A and B are shown apart, each in its own frame.
Chain A
Amino acid sequence: MAIPIVFVVIVINFTIIHLAPGDPVRILVSDVGAPPEYIEMVRREMGLDKPIYEQLLIYVGRMLLGDFGYSYTWNQPVFSVLLGRVGATFLLMFTAFLISLALGIVLGVTSSKRPYSLTDNLITTSSLVVYSMPNFWVGMIFLIVFCLHLGLFPTHGMVTVGATGINSVLQILWHLFLPAMALGLSETASLCRFTRSGILEVLRQDYILTARAKGCDERTVFYRHALRNSLLSIVTILGLRVRMWFTGSVLIETVFAWPGIGRLLYDSIFARDFNMLMAIFIVVAILTILGNLFADVAYALVDPRIRYK
């Protein structure tokens, strides 16, 4: 399923290029500052005078090879611009992911231990509220409170110029903390909700009744039987939410001027660098699909039934 989806994404881009009003070359070249010779070259290489199916073949071939053309906004090939940004986005997303994984599961477990108690209501309500807040707004509030008013964290960027060695690592962590929290928070809330409902669902199963009947103590029932089985649904959810991480990252990077793909996207919107936007879409789609595959592998790891099939 993974490969056809990549293909579909590329075909969607191709369709948009040709449905867009005006000359398709306008989309393929970030027209600001591109010399006419380059535009002519793209027109020739993309075969824009050839029949449409031939153009499609050329386009798909180029995209699959990672040949996204040259960006005159950045004076670099699109692919290397992207490559330079992926690291920062991964760092942000991965940190946020770890935060939300730890917090989300702990909170979900806590609230499902005594459903409808005060603690549970508190956690459930606040996770609903957090889940409903736009994450970029949460980022803005963090920035206003912790950076501008309390002065605890830097307002933008990832590194401080001139820092070296262990100092530069600490600097990055210091810059990373707020954006990662802002990005991780809404996913923490969704993970907490899914963990809670997953565990409560499992606790209703007959095998839990059996476990209790044969005299397991409540701790074993809860952690060994309920939590372990509910991990399955949690892993499924993690897979489905991969794309939300990218969406969230774009918005958070915009708030904190984090030099990743999201910020690149924001700048490209303003530069009207459509070619870059399309390249980002393809790359993010591929990374999302890889994330889903990763979740499938994780699913097989936690579910022995799948492993032995």
Chain B
Amino acid sequence: METVGSESQERLQPLKQLLDNSKGFWRRYRKNRVAVIGLGIVILFFFLAVLAAQIAPYDPFVMDPGSRLQSPSVSHLMGTDLFGRDIFSRIVYGTRISLFIGFVSATISAVIGIAVGAISGYYGGKLDEVLMRAVEIFIVIPTFFLILIIVAIFGGSIWNVMAIIGLTIWPSTTRLVRAEFLSTKEKEFVTAAISVGSKDAHIILREILPNAVFPAIVNMSLQVASAILTESSLSFLGLGDPNNVSWGWLLKDALRSMRSAWWDSVFPGIFISLAVISFNVIGDGLNDALNPYLKER
């Protein structure tokens, strides 16, 4: 009876901590006003993405030869493109694709990055050496060219693109998580867990990881930004998914109408930039909020 009681109490501890932290978390995050604005923009984009069908005034795919290359006006807020498609509607639908790719790629990268970093940092030794060599290689080689070749050969469906971006950007997360594991595993509570005979999986997941995951969370926000940029660049080079038009694809289309329609080029780029800035400043805000001690220095 008593063991069951202490067991459940132990389980409750992290949850309680999380709730206590979350209040302080928001209080600290709020201090970074720019990060709050960034979060606001991302929430706005999120609504654009979810409610695209309700918000977009036109069908983003339907061509209308009668309204080609119209400048921004009341009926076409951001003008129309070479085929008479409404730019604003195309951007709203593009938000869906670009954000989705950003989030999924960053999630894939976070999962791999945390797993490799945890294993590498916890076990050390030969395994660590091999994994760190792999990380080093990924950090030096021009990965954009690798992504590009794979997408060119295996096709540019968004699933391919997301998987490949995620599979190539994890090393930075790994480095951060590994460093945290190296310092945390020397702490007393870990020694205590080892001495009562806890399994490795328990120590890694329940003891160390909750303390080592913060840099990975901050990094994930930055990686959403970089994944959105990478995908835009791929689409811009013609390696996007024609069925899932992203912001970058709109810029590729705009290359052909630059001479006659500046609005085709200007507006999609503003959305990409806003999204990237926002995720970057959210990263800063998370850093301030999750590392209260770092800020004091």
Determine if A70 is an interface residue (Cβ-Cβ < 8 Å): no
Whether B149 lies near A292 (C-beta < 8 A) is: no
B269-297 interface mask toward A, CB cutoff 8 Å, 1 = contact, 0 = none? 10011001100110000000000000000
Given contacts A1-B136, A251-B233, A270-B238, contact A140 B145 (CB under 8 A): no
Whether B233 lies near A274 (C-beta < 8 A) is: no
Enumerate B116-168 residues with CB–CB distance to A below 8 Å. 136-137, 139-146, 148-150, 152-154
Contact of B273 among A1, A133, A270 (CB under 8 A): A133
**Once A and B bind, how many residue pairs between them come within 8 Å at the CB atom?**
124
Given contacts A16-B150, A247-B142, contact A254 B273 (CB under 8 A): no
B226-260 interface mask toward A, CB cutoff 8 Å, 1 = contact, 0 = none? 00010011001111000000001001001100110
- Closest CB in chain A relative to B33 CB, distance in Å: 12
Which A residues are CB-close (under 8 A) to B237? Answer: 250-251, 254, 265-266, 269
- Give the number of residues in A that approach B within 8 Å (Cβ atoms): 48
- Closest CB in chain A relative to B41 CB, distance in Å: 12
Determine if B262 is an interface residue (Cβ-Cβ < 8 Å): yes
Determine if A152 is an interface residue (Cβ-Cβ < 8 Å): no
CA distance A243 to B230 in the complex (A): 14
Whether A129 lies near B144 (C-beta < 8 A) is: no
Residue of A with least CB distance to B284: A128
Which A residues are CB-close (under 8 A) to B236? Answer: 134, 136, 251, 254
Given contacts A1-B136, A12-B146, A246-B145, contact A128 B269 (CB under 8 A): no
Interface of A is mostly: helix
Determine if B112 is an interface residue (Cβ-Cβ < 8 Å): no
- Closest CB in chain B relative to A79 CB, distance in Å: 17
Best-buried of A148, A247, A270, A288 by chain B (most CB within 10 Å) = A247
Determine if B265 is an interface residue (Cβ-Cβ < 8 Å): yes
Given contacts A129-B273, A251-B236, contact A288 B251 (CB under 8 A): no
CA distance A143 to B145 in the complex (A): 25
* Of A44-52, A158-166, A168-176, A277-285, the one touching chain B: A277-285
Determine if A182 is an interface residue (Cβ-Cβ < 8 Å): no
Determine if B97 is an interface residue (Cβ-Cβ < 8 Å): no
Determine if A255 is an interface residue (Cβ-Cβ < 8 Å): yes
Whether B238 lies near A128 (C-beta < 8 A) is: no
Which A residues are CB-close (under 8 A) to B139? Answer: 240
CA distance A285 to B225 in the complex (A): 24
Determine if A5 is an interface residue (Cβ-Cβ < 8 Å): yes
Contact of B238 among A137, A140, A148, A269 (CB under 8 A): A269
- Closest CB in chain B relative to A140 CB, distance in Å: 5
Determine if A132 is an interface residue (Cβ-Cβ < 8 Å): yes
Whether A129 lies near B145 (C-beta < 8 A) is: no
Determine if A102 is an interface residue (Cβ-Cβ < 8 Å): no
Whether B142 lies near A140 (C-beta < 8 A) is: no
Which A residues are CB-close (under 8 A) to B272? Answer: 133-134, 137
- Give the number of residues in B that approach A within 8 Å (Cβ atoms): 40
Given contacts A128-B280, A136-B236, A141-B265, contact A243 B142 (CB under 8 A): yes
CA distance A103 to B179 in the complex (A): 34
Whether A281 lies near B273 (C-beta < 8 A) is: no
A1-37 interface mask toward B, CB cutoff 8 Å, 1 = contact, 0 = none? 1001100110011001000110000010000000000
Given contacts A132-B280, A246-B145, A284-B145, contact A140 B140 (CB under 8 A): no
A103-140 interface mask toward B, CB cutoff 8 Å, 1 = contact, 0 = none? 00000000000000000000000001101111011001
CA distance A251 to B273 in the complex (A): 16
Whether A140 lies near B277 (C-beta < 8 A) is: no
- Closest CB in chain B relative to A97 CB, distance in Å: 16
Whether B251 lies near A136 (C-beta < 8 A) is: yes
Whether A134 lies near B269 (C-beta < 8 A) is: yes
Whether A144 lies near B265 (C-beta < 8 A) is: yes
Complex A-B: 29 CB contacts under 8 Å: A1-B136, A4-B137, A9-B141, A13-B149, A128-B277, A128-B281, A129-B277, A132-B277, A134-B232, A134-B251, A134-B269, A134-B273, A137-B265, A137-B272, A144-B262, A144-B265, A148-B258, A243-B144, A246-B144, A247-B142, A251-B233, A251-B237, A255-B255, A266-B237, A269-B239, A274-B152, A274-B153, A277-B148, A281-B142
Question: Apart from A251-B233, A281-B145, A285-B142, what are 11 other A-B pairs with CB-CB below 8 Å?
Answer: A128-B277, A128-B280, A136-B236, A137-B251, A137-B269, A140-B269, A141-B265, A143-B258, A149-B262, A281-B142, A284-B145
The list of the 10 closest CB pairs from A to B, nearest first, reads: A137-B269, A132-B276, A243-B142, A132-B277, A247-B144, A281-B145, A133-B273, A140-B265, A144-B262, A20-B153
Q: A residues bordering B, Cβ < 8 Å?
A: 1, 4-5, 8-9, 12-13, 16, 20-21, 27, 128-129, 131-134, 136-137, 140-141, 143-144, 148-149, 240, 243, 246-247, 250-251, 254-255, 265-266, 269-270, 272, 274, 277-278, 280-281, 284-285, 288-289, 292
Q: B residues bordering A, Cβ < 8 Å?
A: 136-137, 139-146, 148-150, 152-154, 225, 229, 232-233, 236-239, 248, 251, 254-255, 258-259, 262, 265-266, 269, 272-273, 276-277, 280-281
